[in-house]
Structure 1
Amino acid sequence: MLRYGFDSTLTFLVYWGFLVFAVVALVLAATARADAYRAADKQSKNFWLIILGVTVAVDALLGMLFLQIAGLVATIVFLVDVRPALRQVSGGGGRRSGGSSSDGPYGPYNGGR
C-alpha cells in the first residue's frame, strides 16, 4: 500500500517535470528569431515549434511514457544543442557584463589596449 502511494506520487511528479521542461523549451524556441536558426545551421523555427508543441501536448494530454521519453529527448536536444547555438548567433553569449572574450576577472588580458 505504501509503495503504491509512493510510486504514484513519484510518477506524478516526474510527469509534471517533463511537462514543465517541455513548456520552458517551447517558450525559448518561440522567443528566438527565425533567422537565428538558419544562421546557426539548425532546423527551422517551425520545426522546433512543432516538435516541442507536440511534446507539450503529449505530456499534458496523453501520459504514454514512451512518447514522453521521446519528447524529453527532443527537449534535451533543443536545450543542449540548439539553444546555445542560437544564443551565440544572436549575440547572447556567455558573458552578460558586456566584456570581450579577452577579459579576465580583473580586466583585459591584452594590456588595456
Structure 2
Amino acid sequence: MGAVHGVLDLIYWVLGVAAFAMSAFALIHAIRTPARAFAIAGKQTKQLWLIILAFATLFSFSAAVQFITSIGLLSIISVIAAGVYLADVRPAVKEIGKGGNSGPYGPW
C-alpha cells in the first residue's frame, strides 16, 4: 500500500509542476503584453489578468512544492484560469502586435 501512495505523490507533484509552469508562462506573457492590446482585443484589462494569473501562479506553486498535499480546488481553478488565458486571451492579444513592417508580399 505504501508504494501506491508513493506513485500517487509523484503524480501529484508532476501535475503541480506542470500547472506551475503553465501559470508562470501565462503570467510572464501577460506582463510583457502592452495594456492597450487587451483593450483593442476586447478582453478584460491587463491589471485584472495580472491579478488572476498571479493568484493562479501562487496556488499552483503551492501545489508544486506540495504545500497542498493533494490536488485541491484552488489548484484546479488556477489551471483553468491559466488555460483560459493561454487559449483565448493570448492569441487575441498576440495578433494585435503583428502587422508593423509588412510589405505587399508579406513581412520583411
- After TM superposition, the score normalised by the length of structure 2 is 0.81
Listed as ranges, the matches of 1:1-113 within 5 Å are 1-61=2-62, 63=68, 65-91=72-98, 100=106
Deviation at 1:26, TM superposition (A): 0.2
Equivalent pairs counted in the alignment come to 95
Q: Which runs of 4+ in 1 moved over 4 A?
A: none
1:29 deviates by: 0.6
Residue type at the aligned position of 1:37: F
Measured after TM superposition, the shift of residue 86 of structure 1 is 0.4
The root-mean-square deviation of aligned C-alpha atoms, in Å, is 1.8
**What is the rounded CA distance, in whole Å, between the counterparts of 1:34 and 1:27 in structure 2?**
14
Using CA pairs under 8 Å that are at least 6 residues apart, name the structure with larger relative contact order, 1 or 2: 2
Q: What runs of 5+ residues in structure 2 fail to find an aligned partner?
A: 100-104
Task: State the identity as a percent.
Answer: 28
Greater C-alpha radius of gyration: 1
Q: Measure the CA separation in 2 of the matches of 1:21 and 1:37.
A: 20
TM-score by length of 1: 0.77
Alignment partners' CA distance in 1, 2:47 and 2:84: 16
Q: Choose between structure 1 and 2: higher helix proportion.
A: 2
Structure 1: any 5+ residue segments left out of the alignment?
A: 93-98, 101-113
What is the DSSP-based 3-state SS (H/G/I as helix, E as strand, rest coil) of the residue aligned with 1:91? coil
